[in-house]
Structure 1
Amino acid sequence: MSATMTEENSKASTRPSLLSRPMGVLAINVAAVVAGIALWAAVTTQGVVGLPTPLAVAHQAVIQAQNGLLWSDAAASLGRVFSGFALGIAVAIPVGFLMGWYRTARGIIEPYVQFFRTIPPLAIIPLAIVTMGIDETPKIFVIFLASFLSSVIATYQGVVNVDKTLINAARVLGANDFAIFRRVIVPASLPYIMVGVRIGLGSSWATVVAAELIAAQSGLGFRMQQAQLYYDLPTIFVSLIAIGVLGLIMDRIVITLDNTMTAWQEKL
Structure 2
Amino acid sequence: MFNLLSVALGLLAWWALAQSGLSGLPGPMEVLRRGAQLLADGTLVHDIRASLQRVLLGFVIGTALAIPVGFLMGWYGWVRGLIEPYIQFFRTVPPLAIIPIAIVFMGIGEVPKVFVISLAAFLSSVISTFQGVITVDKVLINAARVLGANDFVVFRRVVIPASTPFILVGMRIGLGSSWATLVASELIAAQEGLGQRMQQAQVYYDLPTIFVGLVLIGVLGLCMDRILLWAEKRLTTWQERR
TM above 0.5: yes
| Contact residue 43 and residue 49 of structure 1 kept, 8 A | no
1:198 is aligned to: 172
CA distance in 2, matches of 1:48, 1:163: 54
- AA of the residue aligned to 2:234: T
2:197 is aligned to: 223
| 1:130-169 alignment, distance < 5 Å | 130-169=104-143
Find out whether 1:171 has 2:145 as its counterpart: yes
SS at match of 1:267: coil
| 1:219-258 alignment, distance < 5 Å | 219-258=193-232
| Contact residue 89 and residue 200 of structure 1 kept, 8 A | yes
Which of residues 60, 67, 73 is equivalent to 1:93?
67
The CA RMSD measured in Å over matched residues stands at 0.7
How far apart are residue 50 of structure 1 and its match?
Answer: 2.8
2:156 is aligned to: 182
* Runs of 4+ deviating beyond 2 Å: none
**Structure whose alpha-carbon radius of gyration is higher:** 1
How far apart are residue 214 of structure 1 and its match?
Answer: 0.2
Q: Give unmatched runs, 5+ long, in structure 1.
A: 1-26
How far apart are residue 49 of structure 1 and its match?
Answer: 4.5
Q: TM-score, normalised by structure 1?
A: 0.89
- AA of the residue aligned to 1:52: P
CA offsets per residue over residues 135-189 of structure 1, 9 Å max, x none?
A: 0000000000000000000000000000111011111111111110000000000
- AA of the residue aligned to 1:166: L
Q: TM-score, normalised by structure 2?
A: 0.99
Which of residues 63, 78, 100 is equivalent to 1:126?
100
1:260 is aligned to: 234
CA offsets per residue over residues 1-27 of structure 1, 9 Å max, x none?
A: xxxxxxxxxxxxxxxxxxxxxxxxxx1
Which of residues 42, 52, 70 is equivalent to 1:68?
42
How far apart are residue 224 of structure 1 and its match?
Answer: 0.3
CA distance in 1, matches of 2:20, 2:203: 26
- AA of the residue aligned to 1:260: R
2:89 is aligned to: 115
- AA of the residue aligned to 2:210: I
How far apart are residue 248 of structure 1 and its match?
Answer: 0.5
Instruction: Among all aligned residue pairs of Structure 1 and Structure 2, give the percentage whose two residues are the same amino acid.
Output: 64
Q: Give unmatched runs, 5+ long, in structure 2.
A: none
1:42 is aligned to: 16
CA distance in 1, matches of 2:101, 2:22: 43
- AA of the residue aligned to 1:33: V
